Structure 1
Amino acid sequence: MQHFTQAEIGYIEDRYQDFLKVLKGKFDEGRLARIEKAFRFSNAAHDGIKRKSGEPFIIHPIAVAKIVAVDLGLGATSIVAALLHDVVEDTEYRLSDIENMFGERVARIVDGLTKLSGDFDARHALTLKKMLMTLSDDVRVILIKIADRLHNMRTLDSMLPHKKIKIAAETLFLYVPLAHRLGLYAIKNELEDLSFKHKHPDEYNQILLMLHNQEEKRNYLVNEFIRPIVEKLKNEGFDCAVTHRLKTCYSIWRKMQKKSVTFNEIYDILAIRIVVRSVPEISEKRQCFDVLSIVTDIYKPKPDRIRDWITTPKANGYESLHVTVMGPQGNWVEVQIRTDRMDDIAEHGFAAHYRYKDIRTFENELDPWIEQIRELLQSNDSDAFEFLDDFKLNLYSSEINVFTPKGDMISLPQGSTVIDLAYEIHTDLGNKCIGAKINLKLVPLSHVLQNGDQVEILTSENQVPKLDWLKFSNTAKARGKIKDAFKIEKAKHTEKGKQLIEEAFNHIKEPASANNIKKLVAHHNLNNRDQLYSEVGMGFIDLKDIKEIIGKKSENKLVKYWNITFWGGNKNTPEIAPTKKIDQKKPFLLKETQDDTSFSLAKCCNPIPGEPVVGYLSNEEHVIIHKVDCPEVAKLLTNQGENIIRAEWTKFKRQSYLTRLNLEGFDRLGIVHEVTTVISKGLNINMRSVKFDTHDGIFKGDLFLYIHNAEDLKSLISRLKNIKGIENVSRVENLNE
């Protein structure tokens, strides 16, 4: 075994000493001795082992331990576990060695972290459940795992391009929502930006440049805005720190995509934060509202943009007052008001509670959530990724508060329906629910609840759960309970689905082969054939387009049959070239005339030539092309990452692809003619259909066009935006809405 050089040993020691400096004054000698012992043990165990970047591996555990100590504010036990977290997985030492040297608590955390090693893909189908089991036992395991992922994301540059995309997508898909749910906003923001940087490097650098170019102007506006606030607060005797924070690059990009706006059209790029150094004699809530009063005396508030997260904190413990006010130059500015304690919790999340509450008597905000996880884990579903889809519903959505007839408040994810609330209160209430009354008005099970609704659940003894409920249930608990009610029926649905699929294949005279089944699974973005059978059996999937999905094999077979039967297999007859297996190590080139291998464009995002894309191997010979930022890609990268390959367009000039655009603006005489002229003459683009609706002087247009490539689309959108009266032009990925 190769050992480190003296230079490498010195480098490791320097990094460790830098780490020790951040611990000064935090721990007593006994705890520092435990940390020292853990480092020396881990360093010896990893002697000679290097990361892909060529750096000694021990630098990674040191960096993770630093994040655990500084960013998460955890104690010595967590720091020791962070230093040891890769020892059992990467070296010859066993868990029993860790327990003998560092005790049962550290060993239990290291065991949890070892079980979570590897990627969240099909080869580790139960990783998620293991993680959540550990979370419900000791949340420190997940906190250290998030710190581990953060350092991996910071050092992602040494990885291969396709690995970068996979790890970045996995981070956005699971770790960002977890960090959000645990209240780790600073870490969540950094993980988002790092993922964005590696998934969309061009867009990331473009936004970074625009932020840099506007820095001087922004600083002037900030100073002009906060000056009267600082003066008034000082005069009133408040001890406050007034700062500003920028929206992250990822948040800006997401808003640009979602709202179809440019960088310059986003008004809330920065927010002002006022942190009050709280006075023990006065309640924190009162101090924050006093500051709010001062701010709104100076600047007029936007009535629908006042958020009180102090009276009703978010489920992850976040407390703050948010108000959007009209600034001095006609710009809306968000102001966040909180005490120093609230600010600490907003930055460090769950861990900060330890510093402000007696954890033995404090009923933590996360307890109800962790209890929900325990309930969900009792489900014996074999498909971990179906479980993940349901679980994620409760991770990342904004929350609403609704009230029972007696006035009890219940928090639910935004978008929750009557059936979600019924199951949240009690399983029997959900099973028997037939609807609800809101403000004396009858509403159905599928009715989406609004913040502040007072809801009376209505039941009937004759009611039984129905599979259709899954279409409008939006919480993991409700979906789990509905599925539980149908577990007995699952085998019947699977058998029925299998039979329906076989009949569909017989109808189009194609075999129900493994490859053809794989194409169906991939087309519907499912995980395996059992899930396909089950979804078909329950009626969630229609098989009417099965012939189109399984592709172009029939034509080849007919040609082959014609050659053999009528030409007698003559040697001069050109043979059908055998399909080549796709080389996953090279980028898959998308050509206008694809001879050796076939590809299809995903219907969920409808990519066009020139857009950043990735390929999904539905089998060894066929690739489904998705846009890089397609939500389905995040799911596929997480559970079938080994089937995702890089894909690159070649020049596409002859073929054109159906694309949908939405237009909005002010109606005037001749505007429709101008739009159609730009489309047909300017870029020689063909139209399939054009629909315009006008109401009270406002028009909306829905255009279906045949576009050659992304460059033509960008040019067309730019020209359409220049037409007088058009306010917004946006692309709609879903062609069927």
Structure 2
Amino acid sequence: MGESTYFTVPERKEFLVAYRALWRSSHSLIGEDDFKRIREMITDAVKKGNYLRDEKGINVLLRNINTALILSKEVGLERSTLISVLIYNLVSGGSYTNEQVEAIFGSDIAKIIRGLIKANGLYAKQATVESDNFRKLLLTFAEDVRVIIIMIADRLCLMRMINHHPDEQFRVNVACEASYLYAPLAHRLGLYTIKSELEDLALKYTDRPTFNEIARKLNETKAARDKYIYEFIKPVKAKLEAAGLKFEIKGRTKSISSILNKIRKQKAELEDIYDLFAIRVVLDTPEDQEKADCWKVYSIVTDMYQPNPKRLKDWLSIPKSNGYESLHITVWGPENRWVEVQIRSKRMDEIAERGLAAHWKYKGIKSESGLDDWLNNVRDILESADATGPMELMKEFKMDLYDKEVFVFTPKGDLYKLPKGATVLDFAFLIHTALGSKCVGAKVNDKNQPIKYVLKSGDTIEVLTSPSQTPKQDWLNIVATSKARVKIKQALNEATYKEAEFGKELLQRRFKNRKIDVDEAIMMRLIKKTGYKTVTDFYYDLSQEKIDVNAVIDSYLDLDRKENEESTESRTAENYVQPHFSEEFGKEDVLVIDQNLKGIDYKLSKCCNPIYGDDIFGFVSTQGSIKIHRMDCPNALALRTRFGYRIVKARWSGKQGSQYATVLRVVGNDDIGIVTNITSIISKEKNIAMRGISIDSNDGLFQGHITVLVDDLSALNALMKKLKTVKGVKSVDRVTLS
């Protein structure tokens, strides 16, 4: 397709493989005539030069074909979605208008392309979406769920394509956004396979050493793991066959990102994580017998292996809102190990792998109530979040995505779904904002409960109100849903604004009574000098009598007089004093910031304590100074995704700086002399000084935090290597503060 110069040799080979696979999987769905028409339209656009590479050098046609293939194989969407992906760039590149597309392929495809153009327009100037555009992006997504799914598949395709891209910063930016936005969206839509791959690739691009280490250990233990799975499955398989069930049973290793989360959560080594894999039983059974057969398998497995009732997850009785149905149990298997077993039907398995797209296929409908509820909630939050910053909105939005759910009832028997941890107050705001604002408690299962009562599945709730009730600041600590939080903040902001207006009017009246003309510029400087971040806060405190009005007027007159006196003084070269710059900033000129700039003020961030030799980046603070962070700083992901426009490149120059402070955490057996041996090694090291040490001991283990001054990263790594050789020491790590 097109001229040979359009592709590199590897790209052409990849394209032909993808094109043939797409033809096999979807030509009957799209239709041979439409498939041929699309091929001719793209070929013509390539010849005319309207289908070029993007600004990062990525072949757009190859990206579109592979995105369509992901949708076809891993999501299984319908005709309109696949055609929209294939011809989107023909419209965005100017080869065709959307009206022409509508005349050829229909209004549904034209609608999807309009949504894609709107969403991709937010990426026009850079690869990752700017924070100010985040609200617009989500609103675009909320208009048509298929736009979300296409963007998720496209992001996965891009992540696969940039493994060897020369621009490391581009890779990191794309990976951070995939982790922060697209993986949670994929999770919410039930696209678990895609979600896991996005998270794995994001980890690979942002922390390749950790990714490679876990991958290596998994590969080393694969043979032993496969043997264990075989031994676990063999007797179960025999019992299931004897029961006359048709099924497939297999073992599945968890994703690398999921394993890393467990390592961090359990604070353990990979070797100590028991659930690195899960056993999956997939039944071939009619839909009306699915639940009965799943529970039959449960009975067989738990007769053979002792179950852990606390880890039973029943999504058969009440499926997740994204359509996920399955029965998860954890049993005590051979070699005294806990093993997770997932039991589901073929229909449930396809929904689990392909999410809502498969749910539509089985239900024969174009939407799904759980998703509609969620999208409506997203719309409500976005449309009422003008006073909420876009980055605060991101935090609110993400919170609801991963939360598990509880199901509660009204006295009339209506069923409502909330995230786990939701309270009576959340429920009241879910029903109606006015109800939430007046809520004083509820009758839960006919018993009076306070607004902070945490709901449990099966609760019946009758909200109690009072006309004198108003939202309070501490309500923000009670609610768990983003909708309730946004509504409470709105109410509090409105109340604060009204009080602030009263305070301002009070001050203006006093000024007028004393016949003083107010200079707003001086007034603003006075407010800033008193330490207030916003004018609203100042006037609010004035209305609450936390500030004395007369004292404010006296301070204003003093400041006005001083500024008038200073303005009349003449300045001469003789009495000029050069401004003093803090030695904390760039004194050694050992950093090159942004486009080869030196001598710029900067500070080394306390959260990750970067030292000479670390991979670093700069972050422009609200005061205008630059803070230097390590690439693997625990705050790096949040800074890049929330404030990408304030990130600047930074690297160490060839000039060595002064010594840098860093904190090491040493964990080991609490043996006699071990601390002495550790401090002895540090004291013998040239150009390394110990500035502090604290030791905690518990149950035969000690944990020490040691602050040392070192020249650079290589010196630190050499010291850590030596400390690890001390008998009894289990681990030595650099400490970071999240």
TM-score by length of 2: 0.77
1:242 to partner: Cα distance: 0.7
Q: Which moved more, 1:67-76 or 1:178-187?
A: 67-76
The structure that has the greater radius of gyration is 2
Residues 662, 732 of structure 1: 8 Å contact kept: no
Secondary structure at the counterpart of residue 365 of structure 1: helix
Residues 578 and 242 (structure 1), Cα distance of their counterparts in 2 relative to 1, 3 Å cut: closer
- The structural deviation recorded for 1:450 is 5.7
Q: 1:265 aligns with which of 256, 272, 275?
A: 272
Identify the residue that residue 104 of structure 2 maps to in structure 1: 101
One-letter amino acid of the counterpart of residue 367, structure 1: D
3-state SS in 1 of match to 2:428: helix
Q: Residues of 2 paired with 1:24 and 1:411: CA distance? A: 41
The answer (yes or no) to whether the contact 2:678–2:723 under 8 Å persists in 1 is: no
> Which of residues 372, 375, 380 in structure 2 aligns to 1:370?
375
The one-letter code sitting in structure 2 at the alignment partner of 1:354 is: W
Displacement after TM superposition at 1:342 (Å): 0.5
Q: In the superposition, relative to structure 1, how do residues 191 and 334 fare at CA in structure 2: closer, same or farther (>3 Å)?
A: same
The range that moved more, 229-238 or 156-165, is 156-165
Match of 2:3 in 1: 4
1:413 and 2:412 aligned: no
- Specify the alignment match of 1:389 in structure 2: 395
Aligned match of 1:195: 202
Residue 713 of structure 1, CA deviation? 8.7
Of 465, 469, 475 in structure 2, the residue corresponding to residue 459 of structure 1 is: 465
1:452 Cα offset (Å): 6.2
Query: 1:439 and 1:689 mapped to 2: Cα distance?
Result: 55
Cα distance between partner residues in 2 of 1:425 and 1:241: 44
Call closer, same or farther: CA 1:613–1:300 in 2, change over 3 Å: farther
Distance 1:17 1:220, change over 3 A: closer
Question: For residues 688 and 206 of structure 1, what CA distance do their matches in structure 2 show?
Answer: 32
- Asked if 1:111 is matched to 2:114, the reply is yes
Q: Deviations over 1:494-524 (max 9, x none)?
A: 999999995585369xxx9xxxxxxxxxxxx
> Residue 329 of structure 2: SS of its match in structure 1?
strand
After superposition, what is the alpha-carbon deviation per residue over 1:251-284, rounded to whole angstroms, capped at 9, x for unaligned? 122222233221211111111111111135x521
Are residues 1:206 and 2:213 paired?
A: yes
Quote how far apart the aligned CAs of 1:233 are: 0.7
2:222 is the counterpart of 1:223:
no
Is it true that 1:256 corresponds to 2:256 in the alignment? no
Matches within 5 A, 1:74-473: 74-91=77-94, 93-117=96-120, 118-119=122-123, 124=130, 127-156=133-162, 157-280=164-287, 282-359=288-365, 364-379=369-384, 381=386, 383-402=389-408, 409-435=415-441, 445-446=451-452, 449=455, 457-473=463-479
Which deviations, in whole Å up to 9, do the C-alpha atoms of 1:153-178 show, x marking residues without a partner?
11012250111111100110100000
1:616 is aligned, of 619, 628, 632, to 619
SS class of match (1:656): strand
Q: Distance in 1 between matches of 2:466 and 2:726?
A: 59
Helix, strand or coil: the match of 1:683?
Answer: helix
Distance 1:580 1:607 in 2: 13
- Secondary structure of the structure 1 residue equivalent to 2:209: helix
Match of 1:506 among 502, 508, 529: 529
Does the C-alpha gap of structure 1 residues 73 and 232 become closer, same or farther in structure 2, counting only changes over 3 Å? same
Report how far residue 334 of structure 1 moved. 0.8
Gapped regions of structure 2 (runs ≥ 5): 505-520, 542-571, 579-585, 684-688
Deviation readout 1:585-634 (Å, 9 max, x if unpaired): 56x9xxxxxx8233334455565666654321338974223344556433
**CA 1:301–1:494: 2 relative to 1, 3 Å:** farther
Long gaps (5+) in structure 1: 513-528, 540-562, 570-575, 589-594, 666-670
Deviations 1:70-95 (A, max 9, x none): 11101111111000222333345433
1:41 alignment partner in structure 2 = 41
**SS of match in other structure, 1:241:** strand
Q: Aligned equivalents of 1:378 and 1:30: distance in 2?
A: 37
CA contact (8 A) 1:260 1:729 kept: no
Indicate how the Cα distance of structure 1 residues 152 and 719 shifts in structure 2: closer, same or farther if over 3 A, else same. same
**Aligned mates of 1:633, 1:494 — CA distance in 2:** 37
Cα distance between partner residues in 2 of 1:601 and 1:388: 27
In structure 1, how many angstroms separate the alpha carbons of the residues matched to 2:253 and 2:722?
28
Give the percent of matched residue pairs that are identical in Structure 1 and Structure 2: 33
Match of 1:553 in 2: none
| Equivalent of residue 584 in structure 1, options 591, 594, 609 | 594
Aligned counterpart for 2:76 among listed residues 69, 73, 76? 73
RMSD: 4.4
Once the two structures are superposed, the pairs formed by residues 478-517 of structure 1 within 5 Å of their partners are 478-489=484-495, 506=529
Distance change (3 Å), C-alpha of 1:636 and 1:30? closer
Contact 1:615 1:646 in 2 (8 A): yes
Q: Aligned-pair distance for 1:337?
A: 0.7
- The match for 1:555 is none
| Greater Cα shift, 66-75 or 576-585 | 576-585
Matches of 1:663 and 1:442, distance apart in 2: 50
After superposition, the Cα gap between the structure-2 partners of 1:315 and 1:448, relative to the gap in structure 1 and judged at 3 Å, is: same
SS at match of 2:244: coil
After superposition, the Cα gap between the structure-2 partners of 1:663 and 1:404, relative to the gap in structure 1 and judged at 3 Å, is: farther
1:625 has 2:621 as partner: no
Distance of aligned partners of 1:18 and 1:167 in 2 relative to their CA distance in 1, 3 Å threshold = closer
Give yes or no for contact 1:52–1:159 (8 Å, CA) kept in 2: no
Q: Distance in 1 between matches of 2:282 and 2:397?
A: 34
- The aligned amino acid for 2:199 is E
1:39, CA displacement in angstroms? 3.3
| Count of paired positions | 666
55-64 vs 378-387, which deviates more?
378-387
* Shift of residue 728, structure 1, vs aligned partner: 9.3
C-alpha displacement of 1:367? 1.8
1:477 is aligned, of 473, 483, 486, to 483
Q: Distance in 1 between matches of 2:6 and 2:444?
A: 71
Counterpart Cα distance in 2 of 1:433 and 1:268: 43
Between 626-635 and 468-477, the greater mean CA deviation after superposition: 626-635
**Equivalent of residue 57 in structure 1, options 51, 57, 60:** 60
The change in CA–CA distance for 1:8 and 1:646 in structure 2 (over 3 A counts) is closer
CA distance in structure 1 between the partners assigned to 2:77 and 2:347 by the alignment: 16
- Where 1:329 maps in the other structure, the secondary structure is helix
Change (3 A) 1:633 1:421: farther
TM-aligned CA distance change 1:701 to 1:403, over 3 Å: farther
- CA 1:221–1:499 in structure 2 vs 1: closer, same or farther (change >3 Å)? farther
Q: Cα distance, 1:655 vs. partner?
A: 3.2
Q: Using the alignment, how far apart are the partners of 2:633 and 2:500 within structure 1?
A: 29
Q: Cα offset for 1:478?
A: 0.7
**Aligned-pair distance for 1:223?**
0.7
| In structure 1, C-alpha distance between the alignment counterparts of 2:405 and 2:467, rounded to whole Å | 31
Between 375-384 and 602-611, report the one with greater CA deviation: 602-611
State the shift of 1:305 in Å. 1.0
| Aligned counterpart, 2:32 | 32
Change in Cα spacing, 1:358 to 1:42, as seen in structure 2 (3 Å) is same
> What secondary structure is seen at the aligned counterpart in 1 of 2:660?
coil
How far does residue 145 in structure 1 lie from its aligned partner after superposition? 1.0
C-alpha deviations, 1:681-734, integer Å up to 9, x for none? 44357575747587xx6989685745657785997699699887x999988744
**1:199 and 1:19 mapped to 2: Cα distance?**
31
The 1:422/1:691 distance shift into structure 2, 3 A limit, reads farther
Mapped contact 2:444–2:460 kept (Cα < 8 A): yes
Amino acid aligned to 1:106 = I
TM score, norm. by length of structure 1: 0.77
